[in-house]
């Protein structure tokens, strides 16, 4: 194992030399930069009057159906945001859904109904995932009134180029720092999440507190590293409401950065008892992402107490960021941001302990930064209907 020194702390408590030797430089930088990048994103959106006016016009459509879509980590953006955004739509006839591109491409007729004007909000770090481009094409094929908001980190990506050529589309190109160079999505996930949240619910005080809390959290990287280095063969992330989507993304980050050496799982606080709790054994860590909603938190606290009473898990924690001043003031939609940074950092340090490169945890290519090997087929609705 590389002998990291915490005496010099340029990035996540590790020297630049140590990060280079561990092939971890990009991942560390992209985790640590997130509070600064979030301010850039908000400043960019605030300065783009045309985008904000266009988006407001879409939300003024009474019967609008909004679909949040992406693949893998990009799909989890919509899943994490859905509960908070759905209750704030301006018209009760409007619908907000989170549907992954991997579902839309394989089953378009089941998800793309042409009786609704539709706004498809597509997420893509590279914008080159085959399912991402196929989804927007299928939406335009099947829906007579489809508008697109493409939120991407890559101006040269196919998704961005499609959006620029579409007459009912807008492309929100995030700062280049969001286009992660590392394998796992970190800045890109939180950046696309924040951009959407800000378009729907711009709250300056919540943003300021989120950035302050996350900055405090990153300064405590030594404590997170100590947690990550506890022995475990399995890890479970649990959350309620939108934080269940964050738990899902956290589990994927852990799986990716540890190259599958640590099995990772996710569930909701109430769903965990319904079978998934069977995964807990003496080699399992359980992280319960505590909600800031007083009612919801009761279920998180109860589950944590139960896991501790069972005394089967190697380690369990009710993650509430209580060492960070201001964390209790955040709504769950904003709390999600420092919580995912905590989970990213946890996975990063576990990868280092296992001597796996966080920047390239799968050098043999079975899993790729941009998915490969997908065959896309033309879709003929009439053939499906006859079948």
pLDDT tens per residue, range 256-303? 999 999 999 999 999 999 999 999 999 999 999 999 999 999 999 999
Q: Among candidates 151, 226, 157, which has minimal Cα distance to 195? A: 151
- 62 and 123 share one domain: yes
Q: State the Cα–Cα distance between residues 105 and 131, nearest whole angstrom.
A: 6
155 inside domain? yes
Within the chain, which residues score under 70 in pLDDT? Answer: 1-10, 364-373, 382-387
Q: Do residues 158 and 278 share a domain?
A: no
* E strand segments, 140-277: 146-152, 169-173, 234-238, 263-267
CB 341 within 8 A of CB 217: yes
Alpha-carbon span 15 to 303, nearest angstrom:
38
Q: What is the pLDDT of residue 287?
A: 98
Same domain, 262 and 141: no
Q: What is the largest CA-CA distance in the chain?
A: 69
Residue 387 domain-assigned (yes or no): no
193 belongs to a structural domain: yes
pLDDT at 176: 95
Count structural domains, the chain: 2
Do 63 and 192 belong together in one domain?
yes
Supply the pLDDT for residue 68. 98
Q: Count Cβ atoms within 10 A of the Cβ of residue 60 and give its class: 0-12 exposed, 13-18 middle, 19 or more buried.
A: exposed
The boundaries of the domain holding residue 277 are 231-353
54-108, pLDDT tens digit by residue? 999 999 999 999 999 999 999 999 999 999 999 999 999 999 999 999 999 999 9
Say yes or no: 48 and 189 in one domain: yes
Per-residue DSSP letter, 11: B
Q: Examine residue 15 and state whether it is found in any structural domain, yes or no.
A: no
Which CATH number belongs to the domain containing residue 47 in this structure?
3.40.50.10490
Q: Is 318 helix (H, G, I), strand (E, B) or coil?
A: strand
User: Domain check: are 197 and 249 in the same one?
Assistant: no
- My answer on whether 235 and 197 are in the same domain is no
Same domain, 140 and 244: no
Q: Domain ends where: 185, 202, 219? A: 202
Tokens of 329: 């003031």
**CA-based radius of gyration for the chain:** 21
27 lies in a domain? no
Q: Which pLDDT belongs to residue 101?
A: 96
Residue 23 domain-assigned (yes or no)? no
Dihedrals phi, psi of 119, to nearest 5 degrees = -110, 115
Residue 217 lies in a domain: no
Tokens standing for residue 56: 């407001």
Are 260 and 190 in a shared domain?
Answer: no
**119 and 237, same domain (yes or no):** no
Q: What integer pLDDT is reported at residue 375 of this predicted model? A: 81
Asked whether residue 323 is domain-assigned, the answer is yes
171 and 318 together in one domain: no
How far apart CA 300 and CA 289 sit, in angstroms, is: 8
Question: Do both 151 and 196 map to the same domain?
Answer: yes
Instruction: Give ∠ CA 100-159-66 in degrees, rounded to 5.
Output: 45
Domain boundary among the residues 164, 183, 202 is at 202
Beta strands, E only, the chain: 65-69, 95-98, 118-124, 146-152, 169-173, 234-238, 263-267, 284-289, 315-319
């Amino acid at each position: 194992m590389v002998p990291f020194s915490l005496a010099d702390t340029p990035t996540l408590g590790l020297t630049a030399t140590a990060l280079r030797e561990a092939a971890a430089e990009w991942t560390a930088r992209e985790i640590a930069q997130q509070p600064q990048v979030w301010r850039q994103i908000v400043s960019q959106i605030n300065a783009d009057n045309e985008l904000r006016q266009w988006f407001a016009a879409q939300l003024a459509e009474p019967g609008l159906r909004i679909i949040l879509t992406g693949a893998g980590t990009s799909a989890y953006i919509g899943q994490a945001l859905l509960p908070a955004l759905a209750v704030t739509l301006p018209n009760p006839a409007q619908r907000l859904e989170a549907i992954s591109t991997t579902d839309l491409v394989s089953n378009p007729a089941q998800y793309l109904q042409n009786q609704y004007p539709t706004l498809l909000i597509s997420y893509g770090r590279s914008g080159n995932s085959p399912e991402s481009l196929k989804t927007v094409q299928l939406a335009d094929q099947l829906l007579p009134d489809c508008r697109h908001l493409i939120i991407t980190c890559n101006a040269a990506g196919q998704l961005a180029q499609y959006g620029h050529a579409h007459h009912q589309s807008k492309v929100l190109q995030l700062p280049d720092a969001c286009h992660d160079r590392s394998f796992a999505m970190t800045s890109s996930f939180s950046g696309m999440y924040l951009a959407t949240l800000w378009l729907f619910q711009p709250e300056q005080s919540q943003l300021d507190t989120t950035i302050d809390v996350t900055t405090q959290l990153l300064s405590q990287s030594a404590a997170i590293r100590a947690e990550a280095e506890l022995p475990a063969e399995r890890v479970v992330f649990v959350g309620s409401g939108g934080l269940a989507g964050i738990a899902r993304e956290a589990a994927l980050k852990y799986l990716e950065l540890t190259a599958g050496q640590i099995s990772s799982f996710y569930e909701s606080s109430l769903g965990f008892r319904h079978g998934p709790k069977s995964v807990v054994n003496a080699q399992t860590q359980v992280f319960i992402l505590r909600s800031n909603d007083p009612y919801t938190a009761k279920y998180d606290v109860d589950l944590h107490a139960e896991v501790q009473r069972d005394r089967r898990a190697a380690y369990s924690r009710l993650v509430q960021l209580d060492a960070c001043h201001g964390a209790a003031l955040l709504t769950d939609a904003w709390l999600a941001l420092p919580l995912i940074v905590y989970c990213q950092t946890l996975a990063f340090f576990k990868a280092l302990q296992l001597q796996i490169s966080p920047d390239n945890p799968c050098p043999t290519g079975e899993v790729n930064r941009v998915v490969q090997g997908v065959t896309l087929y033309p879709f003929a609705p009439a053939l499906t209907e006859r079948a």
